[in-house]
Structure 1
C-alpha cells in the first residue's frame, strides 16, 4: 500500500506498507504528483513500517513515470524517512547526498518526534 496525504500546503506524507502492484504504484505516484502541485520549499515525511519488493509491473509503472517524478526535485528541500530497516535508512541518506537541493535524513520508526522537529527546523 502506498498512501499519500498532504497535511499542509508545503508538505506531503508518504506511507509505504508491504508490496505494491502496478495499480497501487500508479495511484500513489499520481497522488504524489497531484498533491505536489504548487509546492515550493516543501518537506516530506516518508514512513516505511514494513517493506517488501514491489511487483515487476509496479517497477515498470515507476519507470514510465520517472520523467514526471524528476519534476518534483525542485519542489522539496527536506525529506525525513522513518523506518527500522537499517539498509533503507542508509540508502535514503546516500540518495539524498546524490540529489542536489534535497536533504534526506533517516530516523528509526519510533523517531517521529525527532523527524518532525528536523523537518520544522
Structure 2
C-alpha cells in the first residue's frame, strides 16, 4: 500500500506498507512527483508500516528516476519518518545526513504526536 495525502500548501503525508513491484513503484513515484509539484519549503510525514524490500524491478524503476527524485526532495525542508523497525529509522537518519538542506528525524509509532509537533516547529 502506498498512499499520499496533501495536507495544506506545504505538507504531504505518505503511508507505505508491504512490498512494491515495478508497476507499483512507477505508480507511486508518478503520484509523488505530481503531488509535490507546487510545494516549497515543504514538510513530510512518512509513515512506514510492515516493510518488505521492493522487487529488483521496483529498485530499477527508482534508480532510473534518481535525478527527478532529487529535484522533488529539494522542495522539502523536513521529513518526519515514523516506523516500527529500528533499522528503517536508522537508515532515515543516514539519508538525512546525505541530502544537503533536508532535515530528517525518525520516530517510533508511539511518538507520532512528537513527530507532528516537530514538523510544525
TM-score (structure 1 length as normaliser): 0.95
After TM superposition, the structure 1 = structure 2 runs for residues 1-121 of structure 1, keeping only pairs within 5 Å, are: 1-121=1-121
What is the number of residues matched between the two proteins?
Answer: 121
CA distance in 1, matches of 2:74, 2:60: 24
Cα distance in 2, alignment partners of residues 89 and 71 from structure 1: 23
Please, which runs of 5 or more residues in structure 1 have no aligned partner? none
Structure 2 residues not aligned, in runs of 5+:
none
Q: d(CA) in 2 for partners of 1:41 and 1:11? A: 9
Q: Distance in 2 between matches of 1:11 and 1:24?
A: 23
After TM superposition, the runs of 4+ consecutive aligned structure 1 residues lying more than 3 A away are none
| SS state at 2:68 partner | helix
The TM-score normalised by the length of structure 2 is 0.95
Rounded to whole Å, the distance in 2 between the matches of 1:48 and 1:73 is: 18
CA RMSD of aligned residues (A): 0.9
Kindly state the Cα deviation for residue 30 of structure 1 after the two structures are TM-superposed: 0.7
